Amino acid sequence: MSQLANQIAVVTGAGRGIGRAIALKFATEGADVVCISRTEENSEKVAAEIRGLGRNAWAVAVDIADSVAVASAAQKILSDVGRIDILVNNAGVTRDGLLMRMSDEDWDIVLNTNLRGAFAMTKAFSRFFLKQRSGRIINIASVIGLIGNAGQANYAASKAGLIGFTKSVAREFGSRGVTVNAIAPGFIETDMTASLKAELKVELLKQIPLNSFGQVDDIAHAALFLASSGARYITGQILTVDGGMVM
């Protein structure tokens, strides 16, 4: 039995990496998926893969840091698609650097995408979710939001903020049957982490009890669980998927 039969999901940053893996996993479990990316080209590629799996898919280009654009995209999605059951706030960016050299711009890009983007998306669909009296919101945070990281003050602040946001919205939406949870991935092999230096990767591996980096599918499985009926009594939680790095 498909775990998400007849569900409709919206996934941000679905063009590649973790977002793409989540979108495809949901589709293989019977969901139709709205794929959001900054460019239509990227979201359309994944949408086409999903259609190849026999599900419906829509490609939407929107910059989630632009709350006006997000609000109108959400309206259009609801009128084109009819309803949504699952929202995955996955899109995120890094602009690493030591604090003393971090520009306001690098701070703002990361906070506006990772934190304000999730706020804008959640707010844009909130009226619909509350009226529907059901829904799943899954935010992709990071272990860096739990433990911090030298050179990532902006990113850590955005992900720690996303964790506080998750818990607060879980408290607001719980009585309407809408759950809000976060996943905190550890080191997952994607474009975002491909540029890290080999020596740093060796150091990182020493901190991971399971002794390997994660794959995008590891996060997709966790997202599937949080979206599934089996997770109906779970809200406000942060599910760490990191090979045991943070305990």
The set of catalytic residues is 155
In the complex, least distance from residue 210 CB atom to ligand NAI, rounded to whole angstroms: 14
CB of 128 to ligand NAI, least distance (A): 20
What minimum distance in Å lies between the beta carbon of 12 and ligand NAI?
6
| Residue 71 vs 93, nearer CB to ligand NAI | 93
Residue 35 Ramachandran class (φ > 0 left, ψ -120 to 50 alpha, else beta): beta
Least distance from ligand NAI to the Cβ atom of residue 193, Å: 4
**Cβ-Cβ contacts under 8 Å for 41 (sequence gap 6 or more):** none
Q: Give 234: exposed, middle or buried? Use CB within 10 Å, 0-12, 13-18, 19+.
A: middle
Residue 65 CB, shortest distance to ligand NAI, in Å, is 5
Half-sphere exposure of 203 (CA within 13 A, CB side): 5
Please give the residue ranges that form the binding site for ligand NAI (CB under 6 A). Answer: 12-13, 15-19, 37-38, 42, 63-65, 90-93, 113, 117, 140, 142, 185, 187-188, 190-193
